[in-house]
Chain A
Amino acid sequence: MSTNLRILLIVSGILLNIILLRLVSKNKLPIKYSLFWLFSSLIIILVGAVPNFISLFTEFIGFETTSNLVVGIILTILLIITLLLTIIISEQKKKITLLIQEVSMLKKDKK
């Protein structure tokens, strides 16, 4: 893995970390949802900082280059985050449905 890519990974990982922590401290992102993101940004930093560790996996899994593995890791992280989002949306849909039903019934009683 080239030095430039390593620097890019470390810098963007740290940036993501800073943004996340600021969002949490400004109450814009609940800590519950930020944990997975923080964890992901740490992985990105780790990949940039300790490339030897990652290149072991590269050969083992069968990627041709370490940079491909890095793309694979980030893709996996994104997939998991999207799945979590879908779950959160479904839970919210249930809550919204309940709210619509209850509000509508209250509105009827008022008349």
Chain B
Amino acid sequence: MKKQNKVLIIIPAFNEEKNILKVCNSILNSNKKDKMKYDFIVINDGSTDNTSAILEKNHIPHINLVQNLGIGGAVQTGYKYAYINDYDIAVQFDGDGQHDINYVKNIISPIINDECDMCIGSRFINKKTSDFKSSMLRRVGIKLISIVIKFKTHKKVGDTTSGFRAINKSLIVKFAQSYPLEYPEPVSTTRVLMEKYRVKEVAVSMNERTFGKSSIRAWKSVYYMINVILNILLIRRGE
């Protein structure tokens, strides 16, 4: 019989007191119903609200970052934890309720079958699966990043900013050592593609954020785009 893969779900959370418990309970419920069991860990990115107290009170496995690091540093902490504890697959999963636990299966199955090293959950593959496609402006931005990645790596990535992704062990090792702190999703995807890892996308559905605002705000988006595109264009192999 094939060895069961150890799967860790990494949940970065910054000031998510309203959402985090729901997200964790959805994972616990799925573990009860499903054959497939997921470990998970919340990376509390120096939240200033009650996130830490809620995690403590409900005995949710978590790491409290002593200072705020931003999404890149928080997720990398999860990858380091996955590396130290010898996990085979690490799934990045948002702490704000945007992602649906039922799709984790779909995201990790290409990795279990060794079809790819990184699997990205995309909102744009299947028109029906996702009600939430985010605003027009955001979609244009994502498309633009996609074009830049295509230009740089000659590979197509649709949902370039998706924070719903799974990676296998070889990438856990790599990301534990080095992970971009700024604009981590598109930048790390490009780096991975340039080093000839296999990246695949599967269709997922994402919900509208239950509470709070996305970290990418409208007035910051132009600044964000310039930074991301420059950053991607300047990536060199082996960094």
Contact = CB atoms under 8 A, between A and B. Distances in A.
Interface in A55-111: 93-94, 96-97, 100-101, 103-105, 107-108
Interface stretch (B16-24, B65-73, B102-110): B65-73
Interface stretch (B74-82, B148-156, B201-209): B74-82
Task: Choose among A93, A100, A107 the residue with the greatest number of B CB atoms under 10 Å from its CB.
Answer: A100
B28 interface: no
B77 A105 contact: yes
A52 to B, nearest CB: 44
Nearest to B70: A97
B58 to A, nearest CB: 15
A100 B64 contact: no
Contacts of B69: 97, 100-101
B63 A100 contact: no
Given A97-B73, A97-B181, A100-B73, A107 B66 contact: yes
B77 A101 contact: yes
Interface string B72-95: 010011001100100000000000
Contacts, number: 34
A105 B63 contact: yes
A108 B63 contact: yes
Nearest to B62: A108
A104 B63 contact: yes
Contacts of B62: 108
A34 B77 CA distance: 36
A97 B73 CA distance: 7
B66 A100 contact: yes
A97 B179 CA distance: 11
Contacts of B73: 97, 100-101
A56 B102 CA distance: 75
A107 B64 contact: yes
B181 A104 contact: no
Contacts of B81: 105
Contacts of A94: 181
Contacts of A96: 67
Interface of A: 93-94, 96-97, 100-101, 103-105, 107-108
6 contacts: A94-B181, A100-B73, A101-B77, A104-B64, A104-B77, A107-B63
